[in-house]
Amino acid sequence: MNTVYGDISPRTAAYVVKELLTRGMPFMVFEKYGQSKPLPKNSSKTIKFRRYFLKHSSVTTFTPKDYFATSNFDPTQKQLSEGVTPDATQLDKQDIDATLVQYGDRTVITDVIMDTHEDPILSEATEVLGEQAAIIMEKARFNVLKAGTNVVYAAVANTQRSDVNAVFSATVQRTAVRTLKRQLARPITSIVKSTPSYGTEAISPAFIAICHPDLEYNIRKASGFVASEKYGTVAPLEGEIGKIGDCRYIVSTIVEPWKSAGATGGTNVVQTNGTNADVYPILYFAKDAYGLVPLKGKESIVPMVVNPKPSDSDPMAQRGHVAWKTMATTIILNDSWMVRVECAAQADGYLTD
> pLDDT tens for residues 3-40?
555 555 555 555 555 666 666 667 788 988 999 888 76
Nearest to 303 by CA among 98, 14, 11: 14
Q: Do 215 and 280 meet the contact criterion of CB atoms below 8 Å apart?
A: yes
- Together in a domain, 157 and 270: yes
Asked if 162 and 83 sit in the same domain, the reply is no
Predicted confidence at residue 262, as pLDDT, reads: 96
pLDDT of residue 87: 77
Quick: pLDDT tens for 295-333.
Answer: 765 567 777 777 777 878 778 777 877 888 888 899 999
Do residues 228 and 220 touch, judged by C-beta distance below 8 A? no
- In contact, 9 and 270? CB cutoff 8 Å: no
pLDDT at 212: 97
Res 247: pLDDT: 97
- One domain, residues 87 and 208: no
The pLDDT, as a whole number, for residue 314 is 79
What is the predicted pLDDT for the residue at 85?
Answer: 87
Residue 321 phi/psi, 5° resolution?
-140, 145
274 and 165 in a common domain: yes
Q: What is the pLDDT of residue 118?
A: 47
Same domain, 282 and 171: yes
Q: In this structure, is residue 261 part of a structural domain? A: yes
Asked if residue 244 and residue 342 are part of one domain, the reply reads yes
pLDDT at 71: 42
Q: Please tell me the total count of domains within the chain.
A: 2
Amino acid 151: pLDDT: 97
What pLDDT does 79 receive? 79
The answer to whether residue 31 is domain-embedded is: no
261 in the same domain as 191: yes
Asked if 180 and 88 sit in the same domain, the reply is no
Asked if residue 37 is part of any domain, the answer here is no
Most confident of 54-63, 129-138, 154-163: 154-163
> Are 266 and 187 members of one domain?
yes
Q: Does residue 157 form part of some domain?
A: yes
Q: Tell whether 130 is covered by a domain.
A: no
32-53 pLDDT, tens digit each: 899 988 876 666 788 888 877 6
Whether residue 283 is contained in a domain is answered as yes
Residue 235: inside a domain = yes
pLDDT in tens, 82-120: 898 887 777 777 788 888 888 988 888 776 555 554 446
Instruction: Tell whether 63 and 200 lie within a shared domain.
Output: no
**Based on the domain organization, do 254 and 155 belong to the same domain?**
yes
Q: What is the pLDDT of residue 341?
A: 98
Q: What would the pLDDT profile of 240-284 be if each residue is shown by its tens digit?
A: 999 999 999 999 999 999 999 999 976 799 999 999 999 999 999
Per-residue pLDDT of 168-220, as tens digits, reads 999 999 999 999 999 889 999 988 776 656 677 888 899 999 999 999 999 99
- Confidence (pLDDT) at 23: 61
Whether residue 272 lies inside any domain: the answer is: yes
155 and 250 co-located in one domain: yes
* Domain around 85: 47-96
Where a domain ends, among 79, 96, 113? 96
pLDDT value at residue 273:
93
Q: Using an 8 Å Cβ cutoff, are 240 and 194 in contact? A: no
**pLDDT at residue 69, rounded to an integer:** 47
Picking from 50-54, 232-236, 307-311, 339-343, which range would have the lowest pLDDT averaged per residue?
Answer: 50-54
* Domain end among 96, 111, 131: 96
